[in-house]
């Protein structure tokens, strides 16, 4: 028995099942693929593949469907990378170009990714903790109000308005601004936060109440977990295509979307480049019939955050992987250009 042909059979099963959503039998498999052998031979191969755990029968005398292990094998060794069509590339490009700020980039990429893959797309906002401080501004507003603005290397702008105990004089504001700038620009946010803490005592005791509230607010902004955890989700309408089984396929995903924590964990666990997690590999029991394709994105070598799609294990992996990879690259480039 040829080992190669057996893998061809597995590939054919995955492709057919993805296309038709129905268990594939030996005859219909031969209708769609030229394998040069008879159904009986295929049946033998199938039996062997089933022994090894790559495929299974939903019930005796139905066709076979791939197991998670089968999909894994397909993704690792059998799938030929499907390049994006020029039209798709252009779609990404035109869709992302013209974004006015980081929020806009994220929201546009969610949409384009959902549209390309026909799945649920999730994009994590660029991580604050992994970027550096590019600019800091302290502006006195009317009364004792002060506007603090932080611009990070990824182009993200965070601002906060605080009310001080008393109105600061112009001199102090400008002094604080320049010394904070001095201490933090170029630093990674967590380190910048530490530096700030050391700074308070270098001011005159009189000024400390004001300086302290400015510095602690900034510090909070630097280490703000909320911003670090923000994600955008799109393409929920595509859930409709996940197949008919509402309870096992659609409901868990809706719940995961609601529980953003779960999504963040899903994205966060992806180590680096293009990652595919199938069924139980997601680490969430309720997502057992779901697969996550994700990729880190960032500037050059430095990963800023992760984006990806959630879909049924029965998905077109080559196409999805190509789309996720391409969008990740484009987004990285957008942020680099700023």
Partner DNA sequence: GACTGGCACTTGACCAGGGAGAGTGCCAGC
Partner DNA sequence: GCTGGCACTCTCCCTGGTCAAGTGCCAGTC
Residue 47 in contact with DNA, rule: CB under 7 A: yes
Residue 151 in contact with a second copy, rule: CB under 8 A: yes
Burial class (CB in 10 A: 0-12, 13-18, 19+), 171: exposed
CA distance 195 to 189: 10
Site for a second copy in 86-145 (CB under 8 A): 100-101, 104, 114, 135, 137, 139, 141-142
Residue 24 in contact with DNA, rule: CB under 7 A: yes
Strands (E) in 184-301, as ranges, are 231-234, 275-278, 290-299
Pick from 34, 59, 170, 204 the residue near DNA by CB under 7 A. 59
Output DSSP code: residue 106.
H
Q: Which is nearer to a second copy, 44 or 187 (CB)?
A: 187
Name the binder of 139 from DNA, a second copy, none, CB < 5-8 A by kind: a second copy
- Whether the Cβ atoms of residue 264 and residue 231 lie closer than 8 Å to each other: yes
Contacts of 319 (CB under 8 A, 6+ apart): 82, 117
Residue 161 in contact with a second copy, rule: CB under 8 A: yes
Strands (E) in 103-239, as ranges, are 120-124, 133-140, 145-152, 157-163, 231-234
Residue 226 in contact with a second copy, rule: CB under 8 A: yes
CA distance readout (Å), 284 to 29, 120, 199, 264, 274: 33, 17, 45, 13, 20
CA distance 44 to 50: 10
Q: Which is nearer to DNA, 34 or 171 (CB)?
A: 34
Name the binder of 81 from DNA, a second copy, none, CB < 5-8 A by kind: none
User: Residue 305's beta-bridge partner residues?
Assistant: 297
- Contacting range for DNA; rule: CB under 7 A; set: 35-43, 77-85, 214-222, 267-275: 35-43
Pick from 8, 28, 93, 144 the residue near DNA by CB under 7 A. 28
CA distance 192 to 328: 28
Residue 39 in contact with DNA, rule: CB under 7 A: yes
Q: Which residues bind DNA (CB under 7 A)?
A: 1-2, 5, 23-28, 36-41, 43-44, 46-47, 50, 57, 59-64
Q: Which residues bind a second copy (CB under 8 A)?
A: 100-101, 104, 114, 135, 137, 139, 141-142, 147, 149, 151, 155, 157, 159-161, 226, 234-237, 239-240, 246, 251, 254-255, 257-258, 338
């Amino acid at each position: 028995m040829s080992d190669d042909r057996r893998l061809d059979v597995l590939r054919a099963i995955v492709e057919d099942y993805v296309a038709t959503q129905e268990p594939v039998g030996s005859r219909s498999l031969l209708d769609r693929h030229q394998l040069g052998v008879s159904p009986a031979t295929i049946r033998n191969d199938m039996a062997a593949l089933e022994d090894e755990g790559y495929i299974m029968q939903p019930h005796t005398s139905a066709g076979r469907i791939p197991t998670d292990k089968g999909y894994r094998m397909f993704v690792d060794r059998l799938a030929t990378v499907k390049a994006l069509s020029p039209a798709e590339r252009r779609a990404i490009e035109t869709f992302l170009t013209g974004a006015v700020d980081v929020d806009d980039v994220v929201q546009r990429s969610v949409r384009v990714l959902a549209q390309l893959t026909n799945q649920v797309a999730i994009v994590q906002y660029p991580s604050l903790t992994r970027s550096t401080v590019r600019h800091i501004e302290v502006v006195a507003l009317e009364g004792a109000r002060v506007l603090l603005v932080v611009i990070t290397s990824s182009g993200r702008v965070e601002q906060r308005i605080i009310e001080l105990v008393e109105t600061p004089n112009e001199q102090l504001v400008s002094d604080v601004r320049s010394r904070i700038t001095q201490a933090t620009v170029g630093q990674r946010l967590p380190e910048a936060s530490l530096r700030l803490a050391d700074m308070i005592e270098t001011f005159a005791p009189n000024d400390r109440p004001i300086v302290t509230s400015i510095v602690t607010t900034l510090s909070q902004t630097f280490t703000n977990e909320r911003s670090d955890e923000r994600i955008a989700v799109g393409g929920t309408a595509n859930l409709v295509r996940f197949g008919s089984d509402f309870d096992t396929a659609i409901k868990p995903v809706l719940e995961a979307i609601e529980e953003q924590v779960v999504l963040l964990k899903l994205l966060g666990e992806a180590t680096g480049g293009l990652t595919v997690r199938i069924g139980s590999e997601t680490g969430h029991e309720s997502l057992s019939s779901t697969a996550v394709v994700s990729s880190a994105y960032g500037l050059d070598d430095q990963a800023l955050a992760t984006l990806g799609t959630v879909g049924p294990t029965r998905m077109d992996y080559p196409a999805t992987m190509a789309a996720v990879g391409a969008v990740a690259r484009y987004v990285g480039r957008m942020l680099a250009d700023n």
